[in-house]
Structure 1
Amino acid sequence: MRNSASGSAPCLSAPPLPRFTARHGAFAAVASGAAAAAVIAAPGAAAAREVKGGEVCCCVGAAATARNGVASRTSADWRERRVSSCVVSSGRVLSALPQGGRPALRTEPMLDLEVVPERSLGNEQWEFTLGMPLAQAVAILQKHCRIIKNVQVLYSEQSPLSHDLILNLTQDGIKLLFDAFNQRLKVIEVYDLTKVKLKYCGVHFNSQAIPPTIEQIDQSFGATHPGVYNSAEQLFHLNFRGLSFSFQLDSWIEAPKYEPNFAHGLASLQIPHGATVKRMYIYSGNSLQDTKAPVMPLSCFLGNVYAESVDVLRDGTGPSGLRLRLLAAGCGPGVLADAKMRVFERSVYFGDSCQDVLSMLGSPHKVFYKSEDKMKIHSPSPHKQVPSKCNDYFFNYFTLGVDILFDANTHKVKKFVLHTNYPGHYNFNIYHRCEFKIPLAVKRENASGQTETCTTYSKWDNIQELLGHPVEKPVVLHRSSSPNNTNPFGSTFCFGLQRMIFEVMQNNHIASVTLYGPPRPGAHLRTAELP
């Protein structure tokens, strides 16, 4: 906790969120409808980055080239290991084979994982937990990249909200499905049980010596409702609470007698003896089809504070500040007291000092001092070419999805930057998604004085219909780690409206919103806002 004269706030000191880079793991991004994987990072790539208030500079040790929109490494050893062909449908990879068309022989030992229904899959070193944020799962993969290799990132490029965001561990036969909206882990799927060892309550039910047959599942997990047969997939689904198994029939000849209309009674719903598990799913609730990503477990907070929602406050001229509804894992009195989630609100305004912000939000994850201003050339000021004697600086709050820019001379807030964290953007996975709501003044006929709300999921076309088309053409923003490197995600477009800058991606989604305005006169009474 950080204490000050004006109040206290939980400390946010923590390392910045990881990008999809790894020194020994292969990460690939596959967009819906694409024919090949776009390589983001590769084994042996030494990467360094610098956060610049929403802008990240990466220096990759090995050269990368862009060919037909697909980035690939030029080293020969990487070409031998990269995924060369992927059949993609609705954001899901249906088949992926290494070059040559034959599966690579695995020399490393298999993962030995514990299954906890309706909760997690993991071991003593790490654990994938339902409700876990995407960034934490990526951090686990990066930390254990010597063991967990060949990871693909699957998403829909044109409609990122229509399909789940998937981390596909191709070497281990595991998929992690994240909700497209809140980006928390929703389903854990094991689609190839020959590549991993699984146990329940410390006893293996799947390994090289123990095949996962229906008899073994019944012995390990006990009785449940009769299985459900899917004639289209020729699979039996055996469901427990928070856990489902799909069994493959030995022969298509067995399928007709398990059709619903072929026999009557429970005999028609029994899974044949010797049937083996083809897939396993871990999820929350009783139904895999109706499951949703649970709330973030307390074990995933790790001392950080997260934003449940961020409301943009507005006065007569434009944005005036932010009201944040924050979540933290607090403990009651006593060492053995159960941890519980704390919910509280904080507000920050233009013109607030850095001490005010620290007392409201706590310490930032990182402080970045600007060394240059690339937008200065668009300023009408005749002194724009005069170098500044001191630099403005950002407070980067990665888990809130917010950057705050302070003036170097007055140390007052002059800008807020809100990040949506869409896949396919250059800054993806640096910030958590900011669930913001921005009131916009409508400029249509017969709508004077009315306001509409812009959210994280609004599209730019809808906003333009409400506000009218921008007077000026957009500024094209192209991010890259260095002048010699290519950004595989392409450029974005920045539109200025009502003291706000909307950064729009090529799929019409908003990548970030920058709020700016004159400092709010006078001091604010803070004691009334403290819980």
Structure 2
Amino acid sequence: VIEVCDLTKVKLKYCGVHFNSQAIAPTIEQIDQSFGATHPGVYNSAEQLFHLNFRGLSFSFQLDSWTEAPKYEPNFAHGLASLQIPHGATVKRMYIYSGNSLQDTKAPMMPLSCFLGNVYAESVDVLRDGTGPAGLRLRLLAAGCGPGLLADAKMRVFERSVYFGDSCQDVLSMLGSPHKVFYKSEDKMKIHSPSPHKQVPSKCNDYFFNYFTLGVDILFDANTHKVKKFVLHTNYPGHYNFNIYHRCEFKIPLAIKKENADGQTETCTTYSKWDNIQELLGHPVEKPVVLHRSSSPNNTNPFGSTFCFGLQRMIFEVMQNNHIASVTLYGPPRYSSVHLWPAGASRGHRLQREAQSLSLDSWTQELSTNKEAGEVNPCPMHIGKTWGSFCD
């Protein structure tokens, strides 16, 4: 979508005839003369905007700037409304897009010349079992030869799936080599872990596979070299990691626990807002953890803090405008060779202890990035409940 906010700074013409220039004002009469008849416009009474739509083109008129209030009749004739527009009303904004409707427009496919040997994700579906996320199913796009469905002359479309517990070799065979491998240097959330072994220094570090063109990070356990976390990035402007990752077009099924809604799921997408998700859940989500990205002399963070909400073995990092910045998916609690369980310990007791010992593993580092670690504000007014509750 191309949005023109100030038409006084550009000259525009259609079929070789100017409809906007220093000598010609883009009035509603001029638009009608240049483009001809079209479907009735749409009136937004809340914003006092009148939208006149053509194929691939929309004009917006600001009604509150007129001296006389427009007379709006919702039921005029033939099921249409009527709006009396004064003569000389000028265009406030113009939208240029591909398709029949501005609301339904989609970004065009990336040109093959921009692939440069990379693989991109058209969509990423989060697979889940009865307790939470189980893995990812990725629909991938690649240019050139290779196995897959031939979408056009040179583009290949194919699907791959990766799961919690997959080995490093499994992921490499499914997704190929990562753009970067990042080794964690510290775990700033270890202090909040209830595990008695939290003070024992680790002899090796967990590591990430960074797939920037997929918008996905995959964390591997340093001891088992198995997948333990996925991080999905939305790449919204105003976030600390903006323009590092390609946007991950994910779909996450959320289990809804309401009366008369047993087994019902709702889908969270890259474009969902957090307040809408809370409405779908039907119950208040626990208070967030405040995440501050640390700064250095050569790297500052002008975007402010974000908020982390724990939900169904996932952590949603939410920006101040309610957009989702990233989603971290946790695998199910598993037996760890690091813990020495008593011989008589039951499987239920082991799983309970493992669930309690799941630290938030440095949201700072793992929530998204392989940049500088952030710091979580431990102030009780921001936390509200124990850290262990975010690992449920």
* Normalised-by-shorter TM-score class: 0.5 to 0.7
User: In the superposition, relative to structure 1, how do residues 427 and 469 fare at CA in structure 2: closer, same or farther (>3 Å)?
Assistant: farther
* SS of equivalent to 1:432: coil
- The alignment's TM-score, normalised by the length of structure 2, stands at 0.59
Residue 316 of structure 1 and its aligned partner are, at CA, apart by 1.8
Moved more, 282-291 or 300-309: 282-291
1:492, distance to aligned residue in structure 2 (A): 1.0
| 1:389 corresponds to | 203
Q: How far apart are residue 237 of structure 1 and its match?
A: 16
Quick one: distance in 1 between partners of 2:101 and 2:306? Answer: 40
Once the 2 structures are TM-superposed, how far is the Cα of residue 300 of structure 1 from its aligned partner?
2.1
> Using the alignment, how far apart are the partners of 1:318 and 1:266 within structure 2?
48
In the TM superposition, residue 223 of structure 1 has moved relative to its aligned partner by 20
Distance 1:265 1:492, change over 3 A: closer
User: 1:254 and 1:330, CA in 2 relative to 1: closer, same or farther beyond 3 A?
Assistant: farther
Judge conservation of contact 1:307–1:326 (CA < 8 Å) in 2: yes
Q: Tell me which residue corresponds to 1:380.
A: 194
Moved more, 506-515 or 238-247: 238-247
Shift of 1:269: 24
**Cα–Cα, structure 1 residues 454 and 235, in superposed 2: closer, same or farther, change >3 Å?**
closer
Are residues 192 and 380 of structure 1, via their aligned partners in 2, closer, same or farther at CA, if it must alter by over 3 Å? closer
**Residues 192 and 385 of structure 1: CA distance in aligned 2, closer, same or farther (over 3 Å):** same
> What secondary structure does 1:387 align onto?
coil
**Contact 1:242-1:286 at 8 Å conserved across structures:** yes
Q: Label 1:195 to 1:378 Cα distance change in 2 as closer, same or farther (>3 A).
A: same
1:392–1:405: 8 Å Cα contact kept in structure 2? yes
1:400–1:219 distance in 2 versus 1, CA, 3 Å: same
Aligned CA distance change for structure 1 residues 332 and 199 (closer, same or farther; 3 Å): farther
Moved over 6 A (4+): 189-282, 285-291, 332-338
> How far off its partner does 1:488 sit?
2.1
Give, in angstroms, the shift of residue 194 of structure 1.
13
Q: 1:489 to 1:331 in 2, by over 3 A?
A: same
SS of the aligned residue for 2:155 comes to strand
In structure 1, distance between residues paired with 2:125 and 2:201? 36
User: 1:324, CA displacement in angstroms?
Assistant: 0.7
Give the aligned length: 333
| 2-structure distance, mates of 1:457, 1:422 | 10
Q: 2:49 pairs with 215, 235, 259, which one?
A: 235
- Give per-residue Cα distances to partners, 1:156-175, cap 9 Å, x unaligned: xxxxxxxxxxxxxxxxxxxx
- 1:45-73 deviations in whole A, cap 9, x for unaligned? xxxxxxxxxxxxxxxxxxxxxxxxxxxxx
**Structure 1 residues 331, 251: CA separation in 2 closer, same or farther (over 3 Å shift)?**
same
On the 8 A contact 1:396/1:403 being kept in 2, the answer is yes
TM-score (norm: length of structure 1): 0.45
Shift in Å, 1:248: 20
**Per-residue CA distance 1:307-347 (angstroms, 9 max, x = gap):** 11111111122111111111112248999998422111100
Against the structure 1 CA distance between its residues 355 and 286, is the aligned structure 2 distance closer, same or farther, given a 3 Å change threshold? Answer: same
Q: Please, which runs of 5 or more residues in structure 2 have no aligned partner?
A: 334-392
Of 135, 138, 151, the match for 1:321? 135
User: How far does the alpha carbon of each residue in 1:241-276 deviate from its partner, in whole angstroms, 9 at most, with x for none?
Assistant: 999999999999999999999999999999999999
Q: Secondary structure at the match of 2:149?
A: coil
Shift, 1:295, TM fit: 2.0
1:208 offset after TM fit, Å? 17
SS at match of 1:261: strand
Alignment equivalent of 2:316, drawn from 474, 477, 502: 502
- Percent of residue pairs bearing the same amino acid type: 97
3-state SS, counterpart of residue 464 of structure 1: helix
1:370-401, Cα deviation, whole Å (9 max, x unpaired): 00112212211122122211110000111111
Q: Report the Cα distance in structure 2 between the residues aligned to 1:320 and 1:234, rounded to whole angstroms.
A: 47
Distance (whole Å) between structure 2 residues aligned to residue 441 and residue 253 of structure 1? 52
- Correspondence 1:333 to 2:333: no
